[in-house]
Structure 1
Amino acid sequence: MHGPESAAWLLVALCAATGAYCLLRRRGGDEEQRRTAGAEALMGFGMALMAVPAAVLTPPRWAWLAYATVFGAAALRALWAARHAGHHVHHLVGTSAMAYMSLAMAARPAAHAHHSGPTGSPALTAALVVYFTGYVLWSGLRLVPAATAAGAPGTETLAWGRRPELARACRLSMAIGMLAMLFTM
């Protein structure tokens, strides 16, 4: 990721923490919830790796191609899962965006790895920015009522690993992180 190093480290911390929480969410729930949490953990940790400042770590071209392969496979899995549940479409867009960013970084000449500048397709990047901006606004609006209802008297107290508002907050933070990464393209 290119841009201010302190912002990049904050993004690394946010995405790693989100990935860790999603791994904890894999411990409970039904099979579908565990699969979803696993996909989100992959996204969180993948985003954390990709957000490491270029001045600290500049992966070789083969590493970017490996990222693209992993996220391409995750996108195919999300496409397969989207047949049964619509929320997998968001996973499909997210994993496809990660594969796209990985391919754009693999195509960047090694001599320019530390310099920011446009990479990838401006139209595709703009479309992804519009999608994730809309997702951030939509999920942010959904998060407020969920958090308010969770603290209301008479509601069931759930373990923190099963609270729906925390899962939504993780998705929201990853979408914000995705926007930050797309803006650096």
Structure 2
Amino acid sequence: MKGTPVSSNDRNLKVHTLGPTGTNCEAAAHHYLQQRNYKQGGVVLYDTLESAVDGVMADPHDSVLLGCVVYPKLNEIVFRNLKSMSLHECFMMPTHHMVLAGRDRIPVRKVLSHPAPVGLIEDRGYDIRLVTSNAAAAVECAAGGADACITTDVAAEANDLKLIEDFGPVHMGFSIHVPHGTTL
């Protein structure tokens, strides 16, 4: 109920999700812990959500998986793991600003992007290369892997990339998957 204070939860819950730091999944994981008042919780980041599943199952009593509803293979994660975990809940929140950012090269020819937001630029004639996350796109772009990338404003700033275009935040759904036998 709105206005009802949330009681403190001293459980050490780990939210396993997509990294590296600067992803929308990382922001959603911190939001999830804060909204549920987990004082001892933490966020564990992985290169892919598929790898995060293994992390959850290694410590199933104190772990959950957080996914993004637009993650390209979320359906496979759900159905391949039905015997060990289930979808527990979903919530909505705005993402970081999604941006096209790059190094000093102009014109932009090669762009890195996670498969989910590639639709923001796929009709522009860029040579698009897919990577594992929005934040990974920023890291690789900054290292010289492309002229630009689709990433979050947080990851762009952390990697000293220049803003080319700001698409704004996206109202996004995030899913929480819980190992069987775990109660939240």
**TM-score normalised by L of structure 2:** 0.23
- Higher fraction of helix: 1
**TM-score normalised by L of structure 1:** 0.23
- Higher fraction of strand: 2
